[in-house]
Structure 1
Amino acid sequence: MSEDFSQFVAECRQRVDSALQNLLPVTTGPGERLRDAMRYSLFNGGKRVRPILAYASGLAVGDTLTQAQQASLDAVACALECVHAYSLVHDDLPAMDDDDLRRGKPTCHIAFDEATAILAGDALQTLAFELLSDAPHLDAACKLALLQQLTRASGVRGMVLGQAIDLAAVNQQLNLDQLETMHRHKTGALISASVAMGAIVCGADATRLQALTTYADAIGLAFQVQDDILDVTTDTAILGKQQGADVARNKPTYVSLLGLDNARAKAQELHQQALAALADFDQRAQPLRALSAYIIERSH
């Protein structure tokens, strides 16, 4: 990463981490164990890709961001990370992917217990929508647009559908189109929402929002292609989860369908599509361009 991009990423992570800390401070009393599990899931080493995308897309369409826009972007960033964290907690459960390790640490249901993990995921999900409905400095129409983006990306037309397809695909043969459909829902939908929500907060017009959607669709798929590559090329200590887990479960991946070299070529092709979508944007979109490169170059 370039020095400028590294600084941008660090600043975005600091903003969302600070906002999340204020949202869920360490407390005692009723619900302490539940809140501890929520905090454990939010602060276990996540890269904050979705919040960073929201900040970057807001910057790409806005002039100098006002304090009000920054505060609204903080609310969006927190909401996105809450939904993402909830999805990982539930994905790791014994009834889903049955994983013991997430980001190099015991998964939530291992660190606490299965019932607490389920409730922590439920609480994180609903907290996200509370954050958007209470977001500062936004009118009702903007809040509704944000809520529509997040609900569609998270539910039966997005991430939850993708997980259902994924579970049904174990020990099944999927073709490339079917695999892409699964990942556009499971991974890509929330990434697309992250880009759209940041742009909506900062007043993107329809033309720019469409270009950003094209960009987000490409990087959302590239993210999963790179995940599949890492699953077979990176050891558990670096990956932070069990290496080869997809192969062990006989799950279809881009590597199993295309081979490793062609999967890498696919990731590069999607990166170029993302850059092309940003052709009419100026230097303020440079963090989005750098994020696309980071997604296919990351090592974990």
Structure 2
Amino acid sequence: MIEPARATRTLALPLGGRMVEMPCDVVGSGADALLLPALSSISARSEMRPLARDLGQDYRCLIPDWPGFGNQARAPVAMHPDTMHGFLDTFLAAEPGPYDLGIAAGHAAAYLVAAARRHPGAFRRLVLVAPTWRGPLPTMMGPERGGLFRFLRRAVEVPLLGDALYRINISPPVIGRMMRAHVYADPEHVTPGIIADKHAITRQIGGRFGTAAFVTGGLDPVATREAFLALFKDGGLPPIRMLRPERAPRRSGAEMDALFATGLVAKTVVPGALSPHEEYPGEVAAAIRAGR
């Protein structure tokens, strides 16, 4: 397979009352496709590159970083859902497509579906890879601990103390355990090189703010399962296919199964856990092509 061309562009987008420079990879050629990486402590547009290399034989893949995340110093923007919705609106104004394909992983899924509803005709079809809507701490401990989550977020955001807490909780050993527990399905795939790459993402200037918001539920696009499922109702959306990983964590997998049970999305089972697009890009690309 011939390696598709890749370039990185910088888009100046209005966000939070100021112009913010955001990087965007462009991979391959053909019909336009938008690939949105997950929102997590270790997420960046680089996680979508293996999938884009495969899809780039047929698509011109655009892969932006989310505000507050990525492989570079983070712009100081407010970390809440309105920022993420606003980012997609400004991105689609700058790069309107139309897109033959929109792909979103993890927490990005709900944001993409909401954007498709706000921008009718922008996407011909959507693919949601291991979609989630609830951050790690609310998933593990329940929403009734909201006060604790807000306290923890503020603690990580405090200068000096917050950076120290962040370094302790986002160290290479912690990243390795996290990836083996629920990000990758095969522990053998969590190599020292991958851990080092993920650790480098977390060490970018300002990285703790996006992490603190995501982990504590501050970037959850909705507050309940009912609100998540409501995003898919009432028509007006293009066809949607969910890629459901075989070894998704129990609680996250239950949310994916609840979405499929509505009859509002099609489903393809793929190998992997919460990051199948990164761990098994060939299988994910095949599932995307098969769902045309």
TM-score when normalising by structure 1: 0.32
* Larger relative helix fraction: 1
TM-score when normalising by structure 2: 0.33
* Larger relative strand fraction: 2
